Amino acid sequence: MKKVRPVRQAIRDAAIELFSEKGYAATTTREICQRAGITKPVLYYYFGSKEQLFREVVLDACNEARKQLLLAAGRARSAPGKLVEMLASDFELTRKNPGLSLMSMRLIFAPPKESPGIDYVQLGREWIGLLAEVVREGVSKGEMQGRPREIAEALLGILLIYSLGHLLAGEPELDRRLARRIVNLLLKGCGGYSTDR
């Protein structure tokens, strides 16, 4: 027996697929409706407009990711352990919903018309802020050294590179081991090499 999705979820799923494949501007409401198996009035009843649908999908995904990151941070005692858990949680979200992750990645680098009403710079700052707070805690406890914001920015940069690689090429495997290697690399360095040499 085929499982029937609620209409609202069917619309969201269709929109995520199309936005990840084609981008926001190139996706029409007609295509979303066809893929979801609904009519335009039904889409407008639930979301009002394509832009409202897009905003809801993106902001819901960001809120869910933030919630999962905070829960993940609570699973470890040390700041380095919290960072590993946070990266592993983000990797899990990417594996569970690659279409949504790909849509988000596509929109980060898209022109403004491709992401109406979404301030990706602010969303990135919030993500960095979450990581920096954990690093700040670790620095204050003597668990790590460095500038919290720079470490957070480096972690986010590495995370984005690996996530893009996974989404576009299927590798690397996004798992807890990779999260641990990233945190260890960043916190322990590359064998003590100094740029002063």
Largest interatomic CA distance in the chain = 68
Structure tokens of 152? 């957070």
Please give the pLDDT value at position 95: 93
Cα–Cα distance for residue pair 52/31, rounded to 1 Å: 16
Q: Which of 118, 121, 107, 104 is nearest to 163 (CA)?
A: 104
**Got the DSSP string for the chain?**
-PPPPPHHHHHHHHHHHHHHHH-TTT--HHHHHHHHT--HHHHHHHHSSHHHHHHHHHHHHHHHHHHHHHHHHTT-SSHHHHHHHHHHHHHHHHHH-HHHHHHHHHHHTS-GGGSTT--HHHHHHHHHHHHHHHHHHHHHTTS--S-HHHHHHHHHHHHHHHHHHHHHH--S--SHHHHHHHHHHHHH-STT--TT-
- State the pTM of this model: 0.82
- Cα–Cα distance, 32 to 13 (Å, whole number): 9
Q: Which of 91, 85, 62, 99 is nearest to 173 (CA)?
A: 91
Say what the pLDDT of residue 44 is: 94
CA distance 141 to 178: 25
Q: 171-187, pLDDT tens digit by residue?
A: 999 999 999 999 999 88
Question: Which domains can be identified in the chain, with CATH numbers?
Answer: 51-188 (1.10.357.10)
Q: Is the pLDDT of residue 126 over 50?
A: yes
Which tens digits make up the pLDDT trace of 36-73?
Answer: 999 999 999 999 999 999 889 888 888 888 899 899 99
- The separation between CA 40 and the C-alpha centre of its own chain, rounded to angstroms, equals 29
